[in-house]
Structure 1
């Protein structure tokens, strides 16, 4: 952005306001440990498009703790 930091701050403020007013909503995500990358890839390539899949470096137990 050629207008500098102030323009970036204003843009972020506008996007945050859109989230706060629920004009835009974050996509649901499913966290999967990196070791399960093959299952994650199958999930992404399937017809099911309900959530985005995020690979994490956490253990499966830690990932389950993040979901709650």
Structure 2
């Protein structure tokens, strides 16, 4: 299931980067940290994938 907003997609990308060891886990904040702890690398890849142009900035 891809992200529903640009913010979700960005948070998933940050969490994915930390899962892969490209960035430090301590640099994550908020939703990205929660995603890092609760989702697998495969789930994060799916969530972060897709086109951003048609997505709203935020979803309530």
Q: TM-score, normalised by structure 2?
A: 0.34
Higher strand share: 1
* Larger relative contact order, structure 1 or 2 (CA cutoff 8 Å, min sep 6): 2
- Highest CA radius of gyration, 1 or 2? 1
Q: TM-score, normalised by structure 1?
A: 0.30
